[in-house]
Structure 1
């Protein structure tokens, strides 16, 4: 009788940590998606803090939308996040206004709108496809129009191709050619354009490979994937020096969608190894730590958002909303 009472008491305590909208899951991508959903401020957004002041973090919020779509769960949180992103002041604060226009923000938000099934030509009062095409330079590079300089890079170009490929007009051929032309001699792709010597980067190569596959440049994408396989660490992770979940998540996503299944499986094993499991605190279960040093709330949110992409293995070109509404919780004995 005493054991039964104790068991009931423990179950009641555990239930205090599980939201009523949650469902139990053994799936690691689901569990990571659920943890990420529960970190959203007011269930709709992420914020960044500088000097004690909090600012809207549209970029990380979009990352969460992608993660929810990849895991096919926490869809109600994705809906609220997209609604927040579509507020005119939030959209303008991200893509630029008053003469400022940022190519990477246009591309990332355009892809998020498409994934969510929204009209990108009227998102937050902005025509995102037209705005992005307006930042295409004669060289084929998408560049910022800003008094602060041009911070466009391989992520900008890749997201632009992935987003515009979903539009009726498709991605501009000059933009695809430009991205192909940035390839390093070893087959990988750099983050910064025009740097000498050309230095291949894991995150950039993962993004570029997905963009080139989406736009039909499969041979060039394969070379990038081959480079990724060649720099994978013994434990399956990716990263400069110490493997980390952010780089590994992007690489695993690119490898799985590109048909490199063994390398993708090794990368997913690394992600599961740094994910908080049943031995961790209840509130942290499902979160993905940045690296093998363990859970750190300062880095876990972004690591989880990108790590989900690798655990789910769904490429950016294939992301669609419409999954389950529940924010799953990892099932433990």
Structure 2
């Protein structure tokens, strides 16, 4: 199996970045010096959140296989956690039916299937049945869709640009015959200004499925970052063009302090900032990646029993350092850490203050 995405960010550090993007680049063979202490702290904390490979949701008493996959994929981006990734992958694959076929009218979740396959590909493996299951969710125009129980009137298709991004990532890694169509459809979710929307066209049978054809489309930094992460691993002029335009939009959107805000809430947060930093890193935009990493690093918990947890925002950082995490709040820190960890690979040395604990 040929992996289109060459080992994530760690490999990207050793490659020449995209040309013409207007930022300092990393020349081939040259490895910049970054601070690994914070990313290691966060990675180690995440590993501890998935004992035996599974993250347990204490609030609801359930196993969270989606978050487990997020953790495994994030660890693969930073490198050095092969054994832990293998453990997580084995646990998720053991429960792949429960994860990818969750019930409640959903026979197959396209997004969950794609994410599970990306996770598995990080250990240089690929389940042919899982790949076939993913390919079965891809329509002729490349759009993914959940397979629903026709007898369940409440069943709904939750597929979106984020799930499509994972599908593009997985299908290209597997050199699937469905990869080109899925990639073209994902690129079509980018509006002229460079951003991506999170939702698809309401009518899956509409002739024009593009973002520009949707007057209700709104920019979403998270969806944009996920799309760029996936497309940066595709070797085609169309994908490169989409990445360049998306990166420019993210650069214009990034605040002076390096942070990003989600489409809803209007609050600078680690999830969106981390994803954007991850996308910048994949595209070789090191200066913007460093700014994002610095902001994320300033929101890593440094006190108490959960050193290495990543707070969603300023308020969560205060709570994490002073009150600690609770079973109601720990999920927020876990997801923030999983989505932000890859960005921390680009944390410049001596840019964060020492803990006052």
TM-score normalised per structure 1: 0.78
* Aligned 8 A contact 1:140 1:178 in 2: yes
* Aligned 8 A contact 1:245 1:303 in 2: yes
State the distance in 2 between where 1:34 and 1:218 align.
34
Find the counterpart in structure 2 of residue 30 from structure 1.
40
Q: Which has the higher contact order (CA 8 A, sep 6+)?
A: 1
Find the counterpart in structure 2 of residue 43 from structure 1.
52
Q: 1:304 aligns with which of 337, 347, 352?
A: 337
* Aligned 8 A contact 1:33 1:68 in 2: yes
Structure showing greater Rg: 1
TM-score normalised per structure 2: 0.73
Q: CA deviation at 1:26?
A: 5.7
* Cα-Cα RMSD: 2.4
Find the counterpart in structure 1 of residue 99 from structure 2.
94
* Aligned 8 A contact 2:135 2:178 in 1: no
Q: CA deviation at 1:166?
A: 0.9
State the distance in 1 between where 2:356 and 2:90 align.
33
Which deviations, in whole Å up to 9, do the C-alpha atoms of 1:249-279 show, x marking residues without a partner?
A: 11001001112111111100101111123xx
* Aligned 8 A contact 1:206 1:251 in 2: yes
State the distance in 2 between where 1:101 and 1:108 align.
13
Q: Which runs of 5+ in 1 are unaligned?
A: 1-24, 122-126, 315-329
Q: CA deviation at 1:114?
A: 0.3
- How does 1:289-300 map onto structure 2 within 5 Å? 289-293=311-315, 294=317, 295=320, 297=325, 298=329, 299-300=332-333
Are 1:223 and 2:248 counterparts? no
* Aligned 8 A contact 2:113 2:134 in 1: yes
Find the counterpart in structure 1 of residue 18 from structure 2.
none
The structure 1 segments of at least 4 consecutive aligned residues displaced by more than 4 Å after TM superposition are: 330-333
Q: 2:232 aligns with which of 191, 196, 213?
A: 213
Find the counterpart in structure 1 of residue 162 from structure 2.
155
Find the counterpart in structure 2 of residue 106 from structure 1.
113
> Secondary structure of the residue that 1:179 maps to in structure 2?
helix
* Aligned 8 A contact 1:37 1:74 in 2: no
Find the counterpart in structure 2 of residue 324 from structure 1.
none
* Aligned 8 A contact 2:117 2:126 in 1: no
